[in-house]
Amino acid sequence: MSFLLRLVVLGVAAVLASNAGVAAAVDVGAFVKKDRFETIRISPTGEYYAASIPLADSTVLALLRRSDNKVVSTFNAGKNTHVADFWWVNPERVLISMAEKFGSLDQPQLTGELYAADIHGGKSDILVGWRAGESSTGTKIQPKKIEYVSAFMVDDLPADDNNVLITIWPAGTDPFTRAERMDVRTGRRIPVARAPVRNADFATDNQGIVRFALGVDLSNSNRLYYRDREGSEWKILNDEAANHRIETPLGFSADDKTAYLQVEQPKGPDAIVAMDVATGSRKEILRDDDTDPGRIIYKAGTSIPIGAWYMDGKPRTAFFDMSSPEARLYRSLEAAFPGESPFITSTTADGKLVLVQVFSDRNPGDFFVFDTVTKKADHLISKRDWFNPEKMAEMRPISLAARDGLALRGYLTLPDGSAGKNLPLVVMPHGGPYDKFDDWGFEDDSQLLAAAGYAVLQVNFRGSGNHGRAFYQAGAREWGGKMQDDLTDATRWAVSQGIADENRVCIFGASYGGYAALMGVAKEPTLYKCAAGYVGVYDLPVMQGEDARVSKRLGNFSMDWVGKRENLASVSPNRIADKIKVPVFLAAGGEDEIAPIEHSKLMERALVKAGVPVETLYYPNEGHGFYVDANRTEFYTKLLAFLARNIGGTTAAATPATAAK
């Protein structure tokens, strides 16, 4: 039985098990269970796939032969290590960026290590990273000199099968980085550029020459530098401190005479600008009325930008030239998958075969192989085939006006089959908060809550990303202020529209969202019937002290964006717990370095002192978001029970039918 077929069989078994459960209860295990695949990319010749596959305690890379879907090689760096990204650097070798679960984030954190693996197996090797001097993967790794540096991909150099360009970050806080050319077999590196600014990333032209360096100094001001050719002097192109905008290089035209930049604007969303590198003259070529460019679309097999995705309520694409072959290809794919969003993950070198992932609010994702000659798409595999998209909840884009007239956008997820009226409502603010945003797609928490009978409201309050510089800067120093008011206004909007039963509204969030949940019930004691905070921060003066100890730059950021320490007690939920009048549920991890568990314990003690009912779930070995499947299952089971007691939704199944194995 082939590898992919075995996965399909397992998926069918999971669906059957799910159908055997109690219909009225929510199968939490189905939402906790990991994807079949994370990302799949086709090789340059079309002979192989590379696929990242999440396991219980690691993410592995599998290399499969396309003709029979047989696994020909696997790469696994060991427990708690994860494949973060990967690139076909030639028809037989894949470069792999690694991450590790440190207990400080809910997702694995990049380690700065680069490995390589061959399709024939037996030649996996660490090329650069702190583990280069040890053999830890069970493969034939040759010990190298230990270096305390991190490395990240800049350019896979499509015309060069032997080398790539990477950024090297020396150990330490806020370093000056350098670009190096690295041999993908030996790991030998040659420096090609040094950054003129701290914390810099590099961008290249189509000849693989480093032309841009974008970094940020200790005052958190971005600077973009440009040079004409290899070896020439860096010239500053944009200084955020002087121009009050960030400019980000996207790539070059095929002849390298035009550079494309994403440029922030004084008002409204970012623009994509074409800059003549000889004269410096600029021309705006793409700009939406309210939405920033998201994922950049590149010409197949190159780093030449040709368009962009916009998360404009639902995703849409726009191109520099709407008559280009790539634009026509996307339009044909969009027509072939109505109601879903297709995007191309990779193509063969000749452009004949295209690997496409499609997704929607109801569909976690399917992979298809599309033949551009025959115009035929063959289904490869689903990320989560135990979900039936027809039974999942709809996620509707919404818009409303805040009390001061600022336009707000977000999403309303409604239970499948619901009329969308007089429902119990969970308001779910996102984390971050700055420059992060909720978008359209299959979202686990929203779908789980909708399965329990709740409408779910997500609003991109001021400070969120995706709507330009002015919008996210409007959230500066507004913790507990206008950012919180935006959530309040959205909640009242949902009630006024008849969507929510005003007597059955709770607020739940993680990280900053946890803060906003507790601040919401403190600031609006009659609006919500309960609050749940997951790995949240609740004492802002304490948080600011923690930030300052991490680094001077983070301390400066906290002062600029959160506020002066002497002004933060009045917007710290644990210090105004006496204003909270409804039940609270808190969950946190003992290894959390982003929102240390002490925040939750301070909040708990303040609530107990104020006589507020409070439930807690603490795990000493979890970090910023629970990672172990059993712990996540318990968290969501307790969350559903808490919400059900307070606003009357459905609880979890006693034994989740599709718990991860």
pLDDT of residue 289 exceeding 70, the answer is yes
Q: Is residue 109 part of a domain?
A: no
The helix-helix angle for 540-550 and 597-610 (nearest 10°) equals: 170
The full length of the chain comes to 661
pLDDT tens digit string along 145-166?
Answer: 667 899 999 999 998 999 999 9
Instruction: Look up the CATH number of the domain holding residue 498.
Output: 3.40.50.1820
Token reading at 290: 């309210």
Interval 212-229: pLDDT, tens: 999 998 888 999 999 999
Q: Which amino acid is at 248?
A: T
Burial of 174 (0-12, 13-18, 19+ CB in 10 A): middle
Phi/psi of residue 229, each to 5°?
Answer: -160, 175
| 119 within some domain | no
Confidence of residue 17 (pLDDT cuts 50, 70, 90): very low
Report yes or no on 478 lying in a domain: yes
pLDDT in tens, 49-61: 999 998 877 889 9
Please count the helices (runs of H) and the strands (runs of E) in the chain: 12, 35
The fraction of the chain above a pLDDT of 90, given in percent, is: 77
pLDDT at 102: 55
Domain hosting 533: range is 391-629
**Residue 630 in this model has a pLDDT that exceeds 90:** yes
What is the pLDDT at residue 554?
76
Mean of pLDDT values over 16-33? 64
> Greatest CA span in the chain, whole angstroms?
70
144: pLDDT confidence band, cut at 50, 70 and 90?
low
561 found inside a domain: yes
Which candidate, 656, 534, 661, places its Cα nearest to that of 28? 656
**What confidence score (pLDDT) does residue 146 get?**
67
Q: What type of residue is 51? A: A
Q: Is the dihedral of CA 323, 324, 330, 336 positive or negative?
A: positive
270 found inside a domain: no
Q: In this predicted structure, what is the pLDDT of residue 138?
A: 44
State mean pLDDT over 275-291.
Answer: 96
CB-CB contact of 298 with 327 (8 Å)? no
| Residue 330 three-state SS | helix
* Residue 159 falls inside a structural domain: no
pLDDT at position 609: 98
Q: Which residues pair with 458 in a beta bridge?
A: 411
Residues 342-357: tens digit of each pLDDT: 999 999 999 899 999 9
Q: What is the mean pLDDT of residues 101-107?
A: 53
The answer to whether residue 433 is domain-embedded is yes
Structural domain count, the chain: 1
6: pLDDT confidence band, cut at 50, 70 and 90?
A: very low
User: What sign does the CA torsion over 519, 520, 524, 528 have?
Assistant: negative
Phi-psi region of 152 (alpha: psi -120 to 50; beta: other; left: phi over 0): beta
Spatial separation of the C-alpha atoms in residues 52 and 472, rounded to whole Å: 34
Average pLDDT, the chain: 90
620 in a structural domain? yes
CA dist 539 and 568 (Å) reads: 8
Tokens of 101: 């679960």
Task: For strands 247-252 and 235-239, give the pairing.
Answer: unpaired
Alpha-carbon distances of 139 from 130, 156, 552, rounded to whole Å: 17, 24, 41
The answer to whether 419 and 441 are in contact (CB under 8 A) is: no
